[in-house]
Amino acid sequence: MGARAALWLLIWVALSYAAALPGAFFAPGEWYQGLAKPPWQPPDWVFAPVWTGLYLLMGIAAWLVWSDKGWTWALMLFLIQLALNAAWTWLFFGLQRPGLALFEICLLWLAILATLIAFWRIRPLAGGLLVPYLVWVTFALLLNAELWRRNPFS
């Protein structure tokens, strides 16, 4: 891999990790700790390593598409889903609005699916790298829905 390719890989991975920045400003905190949670919710420590791996896979996937096609509408979809990913943290933890966050994560899920399909058509490996992300966001959507159901006044 040449220096230019490595630089672009770094850029796409860093851009993916940037979606995690709202988490630095809107940590779960007391409000979240006080919510009634389902017994199938993973322990809090699970989320950081899972997201760390997913952001890495997302960045690599975007880079693979960039490497094959340069700037393309598929990367625009990627940026849209990345913005939706970042917005969920603000809606759920920042505004403490699980219902609004549930609506938003449904949009995120659709955007991820569209991105996965677009990436797959360009480079199947890039689409495949987004499969764990879609699976995890499916789980997060179900968890968000259950938290909203159990905490109707939150």
Task: Look at residues 34, 44, 42, 28 and name the one whose alpha carbon lies nearest to residue 153.
Answer: 34
Class of residue 124 by CB neighbours under 10 A (exposed 0-12, middle 13-18, buried 19+): exposed
Confidence band for 1, pLDDT divided at 50, 70 and 90:
confident
Please report, rounded to a whole number, the percentage of residues in the chain having pLDDT higher than 90: 88
Confidence band for 154, pLDDT divided at 50, 70 and 90:
low
How high is the pLDDT of residue 40? Answer: 97
Average pLDDT over the chain reads 94
* Bigger pLDDT: 22 vs 61: 61
Residue pLDDT, tens place only, 42-61: 998 999 999 999 999 999 99
Residue pLDDT, tens place only, 62-112: 999 999 999 999 999 999 999 999 999 999 999 999 999 999 999 999 999
Question: What are the boundaries of each domain within the chain?
Answer: 7-14+46-150
Examine the pLDDT at 24 and tell me if it is beyond 80.
Answer: no
How high is the pLDDT of residue 47? Answer: 93
pTM of the model: 0.93
With tokens 């495949």, the residue in question is 128
Residue range 7-14+46-150 forms a domain whose CATH class is mainly alpha
Confidence band for 152, pLDDT divided at 50, 70 and 90:
confident
Q: Are 98 and 32 in contact (CB under 8 A)?
A: no
How many angstroms separate the CA atoms of 54 and 85, rounded?
A: 12
